[in-house]
Structure 1
Amino acid sequence: GITISSKDNTRQFVLHVISTPSRVRGLFVGLLPAKENVIADYSNTLLSIILMNTANALENTQLYKIILNQKLALEKKVDKKTKELVMAERKLLHAQKMEAIGTLAGGIAHDLNNILSGLVSYPDLLLMDLPEDSPLRDPVLTIQKSGEKASIMVQDLLTMTRRGVAVKKVIDLNEIISEYVKSPEYNKLKSYHPEVEVKTRLDSNLLKISGSPVHLSKIVMNLVSNAAEALPEGGRINITTQNRYIDLPVGSYDDVEEDDYVVLTVADNGTGISPQDLERIFEPFYTKKVMGRSGTGLGMAIIWGTVKDHKGYIDVESTEGKGTVFSLYFPVTRQEIEKDTNNLFINDYMGNGESILVVDDVEEQRYVAQGLLRKLGYSVTTVASGEEATEYMKKKSSDLLVLDMIMEPGIDGLETYKRILKLHPGQKAIITSGFSETSRVREAQKLGVGAYVKKPYMLEKIGMAIKKELQKK
């Protein structure tokens, strides 16, 4: 420190820098007693020590504040990351659970589709041979309708496991909703819930999406059914559609990425969903609805699987006692709606003696396909494996192949087609399977395979697929 005199030289001031080795913290100014002109060396040394400790204390205090702020910021980041990790873990567990159930259900569905082929396909053959006034026509139609209903249930299993959306086309979601509110299923729901009011507010300029009308209709039906079940004393359900551009990630249940979307919202002012139930609502067979009236507990799982198959997202907001809002986001397509080709007659897809080779590892499937195609005027040969098909084609030829995609043991439909292409470049073929379209089906189509036909066989579907492929040049 140093001493300086006052202007009148009557008093002495002591000046001392307050600092640490890293920076200056301030300046100490002291006034000596009137009778003292200098400060003793030991006093100056003691002052230096005191001021250095003061500087260190000030610096430590500031460092403490910095560390405390960093700690709080780090805790927030850790808390945020922990929540994200927990959410990611839940999504992973859900995905793993769905995958496990999907493997089981997919195998069961594949076998059931093979079994159902007889119930769905043979009635077509019987009806073609029965006179119009035959008393057997109604029982045969009943058998066929029962088989078709069972086939729809199998389709629900495949949809739940994200293996069911096989056919997509450009559609207007407003039309799907409008058709549902005129349907027998809707009227039946209204009879169960007469005090529930359903209102629609549909965007008249709604953009188009690419999807399966059957599956999207089931989504609407399941969402409205869930909402009605949440209104035991009556209430209101609002169905709305709108165009929306997402430029920032949104959604609490599912992360919605940036894009143009058509948003379907189904909201009710009912009982709401508890936080515990909200975490499990998309699990298969998890339901609190009335069994037998509203299904088997697959409704929400089907919604989840269908939305994901349509490359979409789901967001759910719910407050107990106030209601629930489901928002479904579907990517927009800029393609135009194709004109529907209904009112087909059997002559539209009859054959003219062309040779067909049916390749399927299931004997019943071969018999069904053979019977249907012979009725349509084709010359049909059947083999039980891809290897047999390859050997057959080494010696003979066929106008078209009907290839089952999954054949065990042995090579599948794709590998069979690859081998036959080496023997007969440009060979025409269609693919069939009890599953929905897979990457291997798409690979086969890139090589030249035509339509994909989903089992069980329907006379018109397989007939039109073959006719279309044979007409290609």
Structure 2
Amino acid sequence: MNLVSNAAEAMPGGGEMLISTESRYIDRPIRGYDEVEEGDYVVLTVSDTGVGIPTEDLERIFEPFYTKKKMGRSGTGLGMAVVWGTVKDHNGYIDLQSIEGKGTTFTLYFPVTRKELAKDKAPVSIKDYMGKGESILIVDDVKEQRDIASSILSELGYSVSSVSSGEEAVEYLKNYSADLLLLDMIMDPEIDGLETYKRILEFHPAQKAIIASGFSETDRVKEAQKLGAGKYIKKPYTLEKIG
């Protein structure tokens, strides 16, 4: 839907949109926007005859909020980041071709597997996730996400506090301590998780943290991990992920 809505918005005066799917075998790597490796794929293509994407925007179009802040598009600014994250979560690839004034084509490659699905694992007992009163600070700009994480962690026996921005987290930790941060990577419009963690490390150099995001693991997540952050978890928050 994100690709379709973007294509429609790119044709304010009308035009043609084409959506197609096919099975395709790639016998040699494709060196395009993304490098597509050899293999079997299900391919989804969405093309339009709209205004096209300026060359200077092509490299950054999948960044969160870029289409809204820099290109003036409507919506949350997260649509293209969701597309990128979804494809990467399926170990897929994206090719993008665009000519200003003529249109844009997004081609999504989802790898096909012929392996049998793994059998469901035995459920883990909630006792395996229980804490012992350790303090956790949740840093997330979305209230619903804070509430969900707080509820899960409180039920597991942790002492939970939460704030809605990186700046609030920095100020909180100047006065209080937390055994662990549950840190959202993407927070708008303030500083993101990486910058928040950097500022906290200036006065709490041994601060432990877990990075969370609704999108695929990014270079900024990896940079935070190099600084000392622990595992990365992908939202939505669940007992198995954050317990």
Structure-2-length-normalised TM-score: 0.57
Alignment of 1:430 onto 2:193? no
User: Deviations for 1:387-411, whole angstroms, at most 9, x for unmatched residues?
Assistant: 1111111122111001111222321
Alignment of 1:347 onto 2:127? yes
Contact 1:245 1:258 in 2 (8 A): no
Q: How does 1:390-429 map to 2 (within 5 A)?
A: 390-429=170-209
Q: Helix, strand or coil: the match of 2:45?
A: coil
Letter of the structure 2 residue corresponding to residue 370 of structure 1:
S
User: Deviations for 1:12-45, whole angstroms, at most 9, x for unmatched residues?
Assistant: xxxxxxxxxxxxxxxxxxxxxxxxxxxxxxxxxx
Name 1:448's counterpart in structure 2.
228
Name 2:136's counterpart in structure 1.
356
- Which of the two has greater helix per residue? 1
Contact 2:87 2:110 in 1 (8 A): no
What CA distance in whole angstroms lies between the structure 1 residues aligned with 2:240 and 2:149?
Answer: 12
User: Deviations for 1:448-473, whole angstroms, at most 9, x for unmatched residues?
Assistant: 1112222221122111xxxxxxxxxx
**Structure of larger gyration radius:** 1
What CA distance in whole angstroms lies between the structure 2 residues aligned with 1:360 and 1:256?
Answer: 31
Name 1:282's counterpart in structure 2.
45
Gaps of 5+ in 2: 10-19, 49-82, 96-108, 112-119
| Structure 1 residue 329 displacement after superposition | 9.5
Question: Which residue of 68, 75, 91 corresponds with 1:310?
Answer: 91
| Structure 1 residue 435 displacement after superposition | 2.2
Change (3 A) 1:284 1:255: closer
| Structure 1 residue 363 displacement after superposition | 2.2
Contact 2:141 2:187 in 1 (8 A): yes
What CA distance in whole angstroms lies between the structure 1 residues aligned with 2:177 and 2:141?
Answer: 20
How many percent of aligned residue pairs carry the same amino acid?
Answer: 52
What is the aligned length? 175
Change (3 A) 1:441 1:346: same
Name 2:56's counterpart in structure 1.
none
Alignment of 1:101 onto 2:14? no
Change (3 A) 1:456 1:313: closer
RMSD: 4.4
Change (3 A) 1:264 1:399: same
- Range with bigger deviation, 371-380 or 403-412: 403-412
- Which of the two has greater strand per residue? 2
Structure-1-length-normalised TM-score: 0.31
Contact 1:346 1:460 in 2 (8 A): no
Letter of the structure 2 residue corresponding to residue 388 of structure 1:
E
What CA distance in whole angstroms lies between the structure 1 residues aligned with 2:110 and 2:151?
Answer: 44
Change (3 A) 1:264 1:422: same
Name 1:264's counterpart in structure 2.
40
Q: How does 1:293-304 map to 2 (within 5 A)?
A: none
Alignment of 1:384 onto 2:160? no
What CA distance in whole angstroms lies between the structure 2 residues aligned with 1:258 and 1:407?
Answer: 31
Change (3 A) 1:361 1:308: closer
What CA distance in whole angstroms lies between the structure 1 residues aligned with 2:188 and 2:34?
Answer: 40
Change (3 A) 1:257 1:391: closer
Name 1:292's counterpart in structure 2.
none
Letter of the structure 2 residue corresponding to residue 101 of structure 1:
N
Change (3 A) 1:455 1:255: closer
Higher relative contact order (CA 8 A, sep 6+): 2
Change (3 A) 1:345 1:434: same
Contact 2:183 2:209 in 1 (8 A): yes
Contact 2:181 2:210 in 1 (8 A): yes
Gaps of 5+ in 1: 1-96, 105-221, 228-238, 267-277, 286-301, 315-327, 331-339, 464-473
